[in-house]
A and B are shown apart, each in its own frame.
Chain A
Amino acid sequence: MLELIEVHTYYGNIHALKGVSMTVAEGEIVTVIGSNGAGKSTMLRTIHGILRPKKGTILLEGEALEKLPSHKIVERGISQSPEGRMIFPRMTVQENLEMGAYTRKDKAGIAQDFEWVFKLFPRLKERINQKGGTLSGGEQQMLAIGRAMMAHPRIMLLDEPSMGLSPILVGQIFETIVELNKQGTTILLVEQNARMALSIAHRGYVLQTGEIILHDTSAKLKEDPMVQKSYLGAN
């Protein structure tokens, strides 16, 4: 469904992605794990058109994305729950969710997706008129995912949904990601919390200083000694 072929991205002179290739098939949860500064968020930002690759191709269902501006990429069916959540702090929960559906014009579909979000995150419905900035961290993360759902994406990019949350909340968020995937949304999940990410993903890639050094099914990655040592904290 989504395919990256030899993608190179730069921040000025810094070579952040050094020829990344990966695929995500329809219906999968694919995770990319890696430490700080490995280029995980850069990769998602490149897919989403916020950064431009210098070389390489990004294909969605065989169509090239890398020349499209980001708002067109959202229309093609990719939405993102960005790193640090980036919700609109002064807008209410409702307004934030409406912004998520900005590119859509089908009123009936939008109303359905409101229901979809509220079913998955009943908490958001309780807080519908509260300002985004006054929500707790976990609620903000729910809002960021809910907002990405409102674009009714074919593939959703999740950037570190566990960041800054307590273990119980992380567990809840990951359960909803699985639920979301069961309902048909393909998911590309970028995480530092490798243990959690590998526990729900079908396949995983290990990104290190801008290069994919390993990729396999989650089960096999969990057994891999290098992954265990570097990312799962085994001795």
Chain B
Amino acid sequence: MKAEIKLALTMGLLGGVVVFLFGGWSVTVLGILIGVFMGLSIGGRVNKKDGPRKLALQSLSTAGIAAVVFIAVSLFQNYVVAPAGGQFPSELYIVIPANLIGGLGMILFTALTAALHGLPDRQERLGKLILMVVLVIAFPFIDRITGLHWSGQIIFALIFVILGLGLNIVVGFAGLLDFGYAAFFAIGAYTTGILSSPQHHIFMNFWLVIWIALAMAALWGLILGTPTLRLRGDYLAIVTLGCGEMMPIIFRNLTNVTIKEPLTCWIIPGIMRLFNSSAATKCITIIDNLDLTAGEKGINPIGRPYLPFIGEFQSNNPIPWYFLIILLILLSVFLIRRLRDGRLGRAWMACREDQDAAVQMGIDPVHTKLTAFALGAAFSGFAGAFYAAYIRGIFPSVFEFSTSIIVLCIVVLGGMGNINGVILGGIIIMGADRLFLPALKDLLKGLMDHTILPALTSNHTLQAVVAQNANPILYRYLLFGLTLVIMMALRPEGIIPSAQIRAELHADEETSAVEKAVKN
């Protein structure tokens, strides 16, 4: 009973925090999401034999408490916080239905999800799958109807989910620490930029380019991996760091590419000069002064995908983009699962566990690590191509070290080696970065300008300084860092860890448990 109340309060407040920032209709969306999440969490501690109806009824009390907390926070936001931030509270005709649907939605979906746990295993899994599919499909439409406009930012989060999935192959499965993953993201994006933009007057179809980007990223994974993967552990990390730093600099400077055919330009004239011959040969220049990447100003506009019935994807309509990235994620997850469960996946894990032992089993370590590197890179090609088309323009600064680190954070936070964990990690980190922090910034700014600062001091210079620094976006890397430190201290295996990595990190506890069992 105590655990249930704790869960209800946590969930109610968690949803409340988000609603606190966004206000308006967000209460509805959050209510439903939290409901599903709560239903899933309750599942861990129920008695399956009770059957769906009893479980649903049992969950009602928890859901009810959570909903009350949640709506209380929502109303507090609307009538106290919003006016303090200089905004008008939402009108009653929005407040009443939004909170009503949100609260009831939370209770309904908690009960529904909790009831699923009472079904036989296969039906339970099917039910959860259907629920997820419905939510994923319904999200952009609800988002549009309620006017929240989260889809555009959620798409960014989903791009990073693909990057996380790719890096998870390298870091999570094969155990190779890669600090330069953004390099492959850049290669995917620049391949797309070069092959479908006015920069070179090449306008290839997006549906073709995305595969070329995938292949290019994989190819560069091989090229960068071949010399570096002979190194182990820390050394590999340092070299990948270097490769990652090189990429944006290379793309920044490929503005004047000239390729001359060596035989006619240097070798033959050189020989001629040896014999003091003045006979002139014609130097064949293959590429002359080509501006490949347009340097700092980047390539734009980049071609967009086109589909019959939908037409060309537009920036003001995120729905087709949303479904495209969802499809790409599904494809990636499908492929990555096949890889993980196959021969190659076992070889990756053996190399991660103990490379010397893996060699004695007949595993070729270089081949194994190289495929992990190349396949991991390939998925970032997907992400890069989508990103380039979605933004319509690419710039070298996007692909710097910080991007590699964010992707690494996603993998570590979500749970190394676990596909679902990485998806959740991507949504949490990028959701925080793209949605949560900007909203927090607006809220703080409103509060500062209208309530706190006037009450605090009348000195205008001081007011301006405080207002400027009360911007959480300035501290985003600090916050990421803090999150990582806290995660490493409290739950180093990530939110949803893979069974093996959990065992790795808690090996001492496990052995001591076994020792205890033996003694008894």
Q: Which residues of B contact A56 (CB under 8 A)?
A: none
**A-binding segment of B53-61, B343-351, B397-405:** B343-351
Cβ contact of B353, chosen from A79, A89, A98, A151, cutoff 8 A: A89
Interface residues of B in 470-520 (CB under 8 A from A): 500, 503-504, 507, 510-511, 514
Most chain B C-beta atoms within 10 Å of own C-beta, residue among A75, A82, A133, A151: A133
Query: In the complex the two chains form, is A82's CB within 8 Å of B353's CB?
Result: no
Q: Can you name the residue of chain B whose Cβ is closest to the Cβ of A133?
A: B507
Known: A88-B350, A91-B500, A133-B507. A71 touches B362 (CB 8 A): yes
**B interface, how many residues as a size bin?**
20 to 34
Cβ contact of B354, chosen from A69, A73, A75, A88, cutoff 8 A: A88
* Minimum CB–CB distance for B364 against chain A, Å: 5
Q: Which residues of B contact A95 (CB under 8 A)?
A: 346
- Alpha-carbon gap, A25 to B504, bound state (A): 42
Interface residues of A in 139-195 (CB under 8 A from B): 147, 151
- Alpha-carbon gap, A103 to B357, bound state (A): 14
A78-108 interface bits toward B, Cβ cutoff 8 Å, 1 = contact, 0 = none = 0110100011111100010011101100000
Query: In the complex the two chains form, is B354's CB within 8 Å of A71's CB?
Result: no
- A74 touches B (CB below 8 Å): yes
A37-60 interface bits toward B, Cβ cutoff 8 Å, 1 = contact, 0 = none = 000000000001010000000000
A-B contact count (CB 8 A): 72
Query: In the complex the two chains form, is B511's CB within 8 Å of A133's CB?
Result: yes
Q: Which residues of A contact B289 (CB under 8 A)?
A: none
Query: In the complex the two chains form, is B361's CB within 8 Å of A82's CB?
Result: no
* Minimum CB–CB distance for A124 against chain B, Å: 16
Query: In the complex the two chains form, is A102's CB within 8 Å of B363's CB?
Result: yes
Query: In the complex the two chains form, is B507's CB within 8 Å of A102's CB?
Result: no
Query: In the complex the two chains form, is B357's CB within 8 Å of A134's CB?
Result: no
Query: In the complex the two chains form, is A131's CB within 8 Å of B510's CB?
Result: yes
Q: Can you name the residue of chain A whose Cβ is closest to the Cβ of B343?
A: A102
Q: Which residues of A contact B360 (CB under 8 A)?
A: 48, 50, 70, 74, 79-80, 82, 86
Q: Which residues of A contact B346 (CB under 8 A)?
A: 95, 98-99, 102
Q: Can you name the residue of chain A whose Cβ is closest to the Cβ of B499?
A: A90
* Minimum CB–CB distance for A219 against chain B, Å: 33
Most chain A C-beta atoms within 10 Å of own C-beta, residue among B346, B359, B364, B507: B359
- Alpha-carbon gap, A86 to B357, bound state (A): 6
Most chain B C-beta atoms within 10 Å of own C-beta, residue among A50, A73, A88, A98: A88
Q: Which residues of B contact A103 (CB under 8 A)?
A: 361-362
- Alpha-carbon gap, A109 to B334, bound state (A): 30
- B356 touches A (CB below 8 Å): yes
Q: Can you name the residue of chain A whose Cβ is closest to the Cβ of B514?
A: A134
Q: Which residues of A contact B362 (CB under 8 A)?
A: 70-71, 73-75, 79, 102-103, 151
Most chain A C-beta atoms within 10 Å of own C-beta, residue among B358, B360, B511: B360
Known: A88-B350, A131-B510. A82 touches B364 (CB 8 A): no
Q: What are 8 residue pairs bridging A and B, where the CB atoms are less than 8 Å apart in the complex?
A: A73-B362, A75-B362, A86-B354, A88-B354, A88-B357, A99-B346, A102-B343, A134-B514
- 5 closest pairs, A vs B, by CB? A74-B362, A103-B362, A86-B357, A71-B362, A88-B353
Q: Name B's A-contacting residues (CB within 8 A).
A: 343, 346-347, 349-350, 353-354, 356-364, 500, 503-504, 507, 510-511, 514
